[in-house]
Structure 1
Amino acid sequence: MKKVFGAAALLAILATSAFAEGVEHRVAVHVDQNDPQVMNMALNNVANLTSYYEAQGDTVLVEVVAYGPGLNMFLPDKSPVEDRISTMSLSMDNLTFSACGNTLAAMEKKAGNKISLIDEAEIVPSGVVRLIELQENDYAYIKP
């Protein structure tokens, strides 16, 4: 019985010291609407949760995933949040932007030409699949 208690005490001490050093959080933010309010709310969420966790001494990784009509968030000269994304990307090294390749291909087919994305956006094969992968890797899911 002493060995079990000793092991439990050791685990408790290790867990406590891990929390003292800060925790890493992971957050996936989902945007699927071509709505400036939704896009700005998503970016507000990113800024607010980053500030909160950094003030706690924790780190946070954030990935904004856009697909469907939400992909307009990443279209140069059409995105209502293009400048904000650029500014946030420069000041927040914990932040990535993922654009759905399926949506982009459908938009290009409809337009009949190649469509460029803002420099900050990285194309992933599927926005939905990317959100699933992130959740399977312990990312919390946020949909503003």
Structure 2
Amino acid sequence: MLLTLNAQAANQKYVIHISTDDARTQKIVLNNAANLQKHYGIDNVEIVAYGPGLSLLTQSNKNTDRVESMAMNNITFSACHNTMKAIKRKKGKFPTLTRWG
């Protein structure tokens, strides 16, 4: 589907979700977002992290520098509020996320 949207890409918003803490899968998601932006020249790319995927947006994640760099290049990162509330219920506080999360 993405290949057929080339002319319309600037008017589209692309949302990619990540729901795993698997480092390889997180890297693939970051690569996909970067490729969308690079190949289609769009700024409407968002990565939504939920469940275990929320780890992508934590300071301890090994991709923190890349997330920061991508955020500075207009890729939006969002943390699922339901996941954050569930963590607060379980641990007594919200998780500490990067400023991009």
- Asked if TM exceeds 0.5, the reply is yes
* 1:31 matched to 2:18: yes
Choose the corresponding residue for 1:47, options 25, 34, 55: 34
SS in 2 for 1:51: helix
- Pick from 86, 97, 101 the counterpart of residue 117 of structure 1: 97
- Give per-residue Cα distances to partners, 1:48-106, cap 9 Å, x unaligned: 1111112xxxx3411101111111111122x231111011112x12x111101111111
- 1:34·1:73 contact (CA, 8 Å) conserved in 2? yes
User: Which residue number in structure 2 is paired with residue 107 of structure 1?
Assistant: 87
In structure 2, relative to structure 1, the CA distance for the partners of 1:40 and 1:65 (3 Å cut) is: same
Q: Out of 55, 77, 93, which is 1:72 matched to? A: 55
| TM-score of the superposed pair, with normalisation by structure 1 | 0.59
Any conservation in 1 of the 2:59–2:97 contact (CA below 8 Å)? Answer: yes
Given that residues 27 and 60 in structure 1 are in contact (C-alpha distance below 8 angstroms), is that contact kept between their aligned partners in structure 2? no
Q: Is contact 1:104–1:115 with CA below 8 Å preserved after alignment?
A: yes
Query: Per-residue CA shift, 1:1-38, capped at 9, x if unaligned?
Result: xxxxxxxxxxxxxxxxxx5xx84232110100111111
Structure 1: which amino acid aligns with 2:54?
L
Aligned length: 94
Alpha carbons 1:32, 1:67 under 8 Å: kept: yes
Task: Please identify which structure carries the higher strand content.
Answer: 1
Residue number in structure 2 paired with 1:88: 70
TM-score by length of 2: 0.82
**Identity percentage over the alignment?**
34
Structure 2 residues not aligned, in runs of 5+: 1-6
